[in-house]
Amino acid sequence: MYKARIIATGGYLPERILTNHDLEKMMDTSDEWIQKRTGIKERHIAADNQVTSDLACEASKQALKRAGITADKLDMIIVGTCTPDMTLPAVALHLQRKLGAGKAGCAAVDMNAACSGFLYSMATANAYIKSGMAKNILVVGVETLSRIVNWDDRSTAVIFGDGAGAAILTQDSGKRGIIASELHADGDYAYLMIAPGNGTFHAPTGNYTKIHMEGHDTFKIAVRHLENVSRSVLEKAGVKPEEIDVVVPHQANVRIIGSVAKRLDIPMEKCILTIDHHGNTAGASIPLALNEAVENGRITDGDMILFNAFGASITWGSMLVRW
Ligand code: UT7
Euclidean distance between CA atoms 74 and 56, whole angstroms: 15
Q: What DSSP line would sit under 14-52, residue for residue? A: -SEEEEHHHHHHHSS--HHHHHHHH---EEEE--TT--H
Please report the pLDDT score of residue 208 as a whole number: 65
pLDDT of residue 191: 87
* Ligand 1 center–CA 155 separation, angstroms: 5
In the DSSP assignment, the letter for residue 313 is: T
Residue 20 designated active-site: no
Residues whose CB is less than 8 angstroms from the CB of residue 25 and which lie 6 or more positions away in sequence, other chains included:
none
| Residue nearest atom 48 in ligand 1 by C-alpha distance | 154
Active site residue 115: yes
126-158 per-position pLDDT tens digit: 999 999 999 999 999 999 999 999 999 999 999
Q: What pLDDT does 204 receive?
A: 59
Ligand 1 near 219 CB (within 6 A): yes
pLDDT for the residue numbered 17: 98
pLDDT of residue 199: 79
Domains and CATH numbers, the chain: 3-174 (3.40.47.10), 178-322 (3.40.47.10)
Catalytic residue flag (residue 280)? yes
Instruction: Decide: pTM greater than 0.85.
Output: yes
281 touches ligand 1 (CB under 6 Å)? no
Q: Which regions in the chain score pLDDT beneath 70?
A: 202-208
